[in-house]
Structure 1
Amino acid sequence: MRTIDFPFKAIDKLTFSPRPQPLPASLRPLYRIALITLVLKTNCQSNTASMLKLQFFNWLLKSSSLQELIEDRLTHQSVFTLELIHLDPMVTLALKYAVADNLISVTNNSKYKLTDKGHKFADLILRDEQSVLAGERRLLIRIGQRVPEERLRKELL
């Protein structure tokens, strides 16, 4: 076994001070909750969706190149030829917080439904012209309800 000499002989010890690091917006639960309420409001029949559909939209919102690809496929061919989506545990965490805050409820068949409070929250985001979610909002409105739940289940499961 080889040992390596410490290169700075004059230094007896090193100390590290923890410094707060900002959490990226995409990892903040409130950001995800806002996106989920927008998806339920603008992209889901009866403002209700399965975990699969919520994960699909979360995955879709991650990159602009992916958004362009999906929008093109929605127009010209099946979006479901992609064959896979990335499942994100932060969506599950955001759903737990949203249910606890009564923005979303869980139905008898394990789907997620927007509550009255959730509708009001989504409406505030949709009306806000200065929203940090302006790009996401425009994309979700353009897509509308062109991604049916049944087809997602059939093609991706």
Structure 2
Amino acid sequence: MRDFEIKDIKFSKKPISIPVDYRPVYKIAQIVMILSITCIGNKSSLLKLHLLSWALKDDKNKDEVLELLKSNYAKDIAVWGIEPALNRALLFCISENICSMENGKYLLTEKGVEFFKLIVKAEVFAEEFEFLNFVGKRKITDNRIESISNKWSLFNVKN
């Protein structure tokens, strides 16, 4: 058997567009909106952030969450997406002091509150605002999310 040797590798930069869902600034703005609009005390668990970020990804996901809320949690919801892009944006948020960690939850800082005011002033994210305002601060609690996620292993895992 011969040794495999690479003598030269060249990379050339190609212009590509990055989908908005993977752009850090968009995800940071999304986190700030979720914490500001849907979280009591501007504080949330990681699972809640992932659920609402997943819901904002497309209309089908939003509808699934809205049906869950309208049925007062009588309907089940499938496993929602856990996005590495959101996790990276949370790391940026913490490093830029937009949010902090407190007892295992993400908390919006004063800088984050000021960022939220800029987002509101810019009058962007109309769809996101509409959905998040419908959800409000009391409809999706961390306890509800934990209860839903505990069912995952019961209903969504096959032998």
Report the TM-score when normalising by structure 2. Answer: 0.81
- 1:1-157 alignment, distance < 5 Å: 18-78=13-73, 81-107=76-102, 109-129=103-123, 131=124, 133-145=125-137, 146-157=139-150
Distance 1:63-1:70 versus aligned 2 partners, 3 A rule: same
Contact 1:33 / 1:95 at 8 angstroms: preserved in 2? yes
**Letter paired with 2:18:** L
Looking at structure 1, the residues matched to 135 and 64 of structure 2 have their Cα atoms a distance apart, in angstroms, of 12
CA 1:73/1:18 → structure 2, altered by over 3 Å: closer, same or farther? same
Deviation at 1:110, TM superposition (A): 1.3
Task: Flag structure 1 segments of 5+ consecutive residues without an equivalent.
Answer: 1-15
**Displacement of 1:80 after TM fit?**
6.5
Paired with 2:27 and 2:49, the residues of 1 have a C-alpha distance of 10
Whether the 8 Å contact between 1:103 and 1:118 is mirrored in structure 2 is yes
In structure 2, runs of 5+ residues without a counterpart are: 1-10, 151-159
Q: Once superposed, what is the RMSD of the aligned Cα atoms?
A: 1.7
Report if aligned partners of 2:45, 2:142 keep a CA contact under 8 Å in 1: yes
SS of equivalent residue, structure 2 residue 76: helix
Q: Give CA-to-partner distance per residue, 1:17-40, whole Å, 9 cap, x none.
A: 642112121110110000000000
- Partners of 2:75 and 2:142 lie apart in 1 by 12
* Shift in CA distance, 156/24, structure 1 to aligned 2, threshold 3 Å: same
Question: How many percent of aligned residue pairs carry the same amino acid?
Answer: 30
TM-score normalised per structure 1 = 0.82
Flag as ranges the 4+ runs of structure 1 deviating above 6 A.
Answer: none
**How many residues are matched?**
139
1:31-65 CA-to-partner distances (Å, cap 9, x unmatched) read 00000000000001110001111111111111112
